[in-house]
Structure 1
Amino acid sequence: MFSWQHSKLIIKVLTVIIGFSIVIGIIPSLFANPNQFDGDMYYMDTVGQNRSRPPQRPHPDLHVPTVPAKPDITVFSNEPTDKTAYPYIQTTINFVEGHLSYKAFLSDGTEISYSTRGEHVRYSKCFGDLCIIVSQKNLLGVSNSSTEWEKGHIFGEERYQVAMGHKAALVASDRKLYLYNSYTNHWDTISLEQETLSGFANLYDKVAIITTRRMLVIDLPSEVQFEENLLLRRIYQFEMRDGFINFYSGSKLWMFRHQTETFEEVDLTD
């Protein structure tokens, strides 16, 4: 028969064994990955009140790209396919941005300065024989035939598309087209009435403009405009050449001849 001393000894041994087992079970958790709960953590509102969610720390392996703000001036891209074979175009004019000014340097070495004091320049570029600047107040253009920067006024329009040609540049808003002519150093305004711009091209002294309602051909030296109604058709492809401009609309072709300065309609199914 066991004595009371023996019982107490057995109880002590069992207590030591149980305590040792608990310690063995806790030790691995002390060395576990401390970041195993990284990522999104959600909190439940147990009292039925709207609480602001605390800032979340993203997972270190998760890359969330920032979305840039959409610019208010974009480079225009033709909707119809432009098949024009453009020659190599050398930019023969340049400008330098100074303190509150732009200085244009023409091909003959002439320097023409424009003060931008009080204006915020939103777009500027030189290409071919011309340079343009778009500010919040004005449109500015200069070319190798200029004696000063030519100013065109804009009124309360915020969004623009810009297209550059060798001899002409286009600044298009939702309501109007502003065309800079390097031959005459002049801004011409074309109103858009229930139509939108879909194509623009400039080859030598001719400009082709396509909208959802009409085709325009402009002779830059004379500033004469020639127009043809699309009659609810759509231009899918166009091509500018030395002597003519072709506008394709499915089975129909409109050809503008430079020599006669007229549009000729051709049925391609014959």
Structure 2
Amino acid sequence: MLRWLFTFQFPKSLSFALGLTLSISFFPVLVANPDLLESDTYYYDTVGQNLNRPPQRPHPNLHVPNVPVKHGVTVFSNIPTDKTAYPYLQTTINFVEAHFAFKAFLSDGTEVSYSTRGEHVRYSKCNGEICIIVSQKNVLGVSNTSTEWEKGHIFGEERYEVAMGHRAALVASDRKLYLYNGYTNHWDTISLEQEILRGFANLYDKVAIITSRRILVVDLPSEGQFEQNLLLRGIYQFEMRDGFINFYSSDKLWMFRHLTEAFEEVDLTD
């Protein structure tokens, strides 16, 4: 009986099919599993190989610079304590980044475009009624009262700090302050000669700027600038109100009144 089992011959066709099946079973099988990573396909070798990701080739129309761009743009933080009670201010302007362009959409539906060809955008943001862009060679602003992006030129500085208000924005380098006025759609340049920026705030149509040497209040609609020398004192706290702005030093208070557009000095040691 056993001799009969070992001497049994398979039909030729069945032998061929069995041999083909065994050959395929020992050949590495690649199984696609697209669920391993979103939008990518990984391939698994069932013979025991590790997960292998196919080499990524850049899109032919995508320019990838060989040297990484150093941004050098940070968000400014006040050194004096800002006690201003800011109301809720809705952002009513927006932009989208298109192919070599930024398209701003104003509150009335107007579309305002700016070509960024030849520029590396380092910072961009919208807040309240304004949007700004900082590139390696320009600062740009647009507001709901604009007809185009307003350009201001910067001159080779590598590091910037950016502060956004509702109607005004500040781009500060080590040497200059670039103030964007959302009312007039205009950039003002303020020189920093042996000064350090300490504070910035924007409430409605007024801007407060504090440096290591002075206080500067800007009325946005008229573009008027009002200055107070700090007399070697430092400001540790300030507060913007509807009718006035208070700047507190250790022994003095400087109050800027909107009605008179002048500073009043109060001695806090009395």
In which range does the TM-score fall when normalised by the shorter chain? 0.7 to 0.9
Alignment of 1:4-153 (within 5 A): 71-153=71-153
Query: Quick one: distance in 2 between partners of 1:209 and 1:91?
Result: 23
Counting only pairs closer than 5 Å after superposition, residues 168-207 of structure 1 correspond to structure 2 as 168-207=168-207
Q: TM-score, normalised by structure 2?
A: 0.74
Shift of 1:71: 5.0
Residue 262 of structure 1, CA deviation:
0.4
Paired position in structure 2 for 1:235 = 235
Mapped partners of 1:207, 1:265: distance in 2: 19
**Deviation for aligned residue 1:251:** 1.9
In 2, distance between residues paired with 1:85 and 1:130? 20
Q: Partners of 2:118 and 2:250 in 1: how far apart?
A: 50
- Distance in 2 (CA, whole Å) between partners of 1:71 and 1:139 is 14
In structure 1, give the amino acid aligned to 2:203.
L
Give the aligned residue type for 1:144: N
Give 1:212's aligned residue. Answer: 212
Larger gyration radius, structure 1 or structure 2: 1
Structure 1 Cα separation of the partners of residues 71 and 178 of structure 2: 19
Structure 2 CA distance for aligned equivalents of residues 245 and 252 of structure 1? 14
Q: What per-residue deviation string (whole Å, max 9, x for no partner) do you get for residues 202-242 of structure 1?
A: 00000000000000000000000000000000000000000
1:70, CA displacement in angstroms?
A: 8.3
CA root-mean-square deviation: 1.1
| Structure 2 portions without partners, runs of 5+ | 1-68
Given the alignment of the two structures, is residue 157 of structure 1 paired with residue 157 of structure 2, yes or no? yes
Which ranges of structure 1 fall in alignment gaps of 5 or more residues? 1-68
Percent identity of equivalent pairs? 85
Secondary structure, in 3 states, of the residue corresponding to 1:109? coil
**TM-superposition CA deviations, 1:182-221 (whole Å, max 9, x none):** 0000000000000010000000000000000000000000
Q: Which amino acid aligns with 1:195?
A: E
Q: Structure 2: how far apart are the matches of 1:143 and 1:232? A: 37
TM-score (norm 1): 0.74
Shift of the alpha carbon at 1:245? 0.3
- 1:56 corresponds in structure 2 to none
Give the match's secondary structure for 2:166.
coil
Measured against aligned partners, the alpha-carbon deviations of 1:148-193 in whole angstroms (never above 9, x if no partner) come to 0000000111100000000000000000000000000000000000
Matched residues, number: 202
* Aligned-partner Cα distance in 1 for 2:80–2:194: 19
The alignment partner of 1:210 has SS state of strand
When residues 111 and 71 of structure 1 are mapped into structure 2, their CA distance, relative to the original with a 3 A threshold, is: closer
Query: Aligned partners of 2:116 and 2:71: how far apart in 1?
Result: 21
Q: Residue 89 of structure 1: CA displacement?
A: 1.1
Give the Cα–Cα distance (whole angstroms) in 1 for the partners of residues 190 and 168 of structure 2. Answer: 14
Matched with 1:250 is 250
Q: Tell me the amino acid that sits aligned with residue 151 of structure 1.
A: K
- TM-superposed CA distance for 1:269, in Å, is 2.2
Aligned-partner residue type, residue 249 of structure 1: S
For residues 160 and 119 of structure 1, what CA distance do their matches in structure 2 show? 16
Given residue 258 of structure 1, which amino acid in structure 2 is its aligned partner? Answer: H
Aligned partner of 1:263: which letter? F
Contact 2:84–2:239 at 8 Å: present in 1 too? yes
Amino acid in the other structure paired with 2:147: T
SS state at 2:91 partner: coil
Cα distance in 1 for residues equivalent to 2:203 and 2:84: 8
2:225 is matched with which residue? 225
2:237·2:247 contact (CA, 8 Å) conserved in 1? yes
Matched AA of 1:237: Q
> SS where residue 256 of structure 1 aligns?
strand
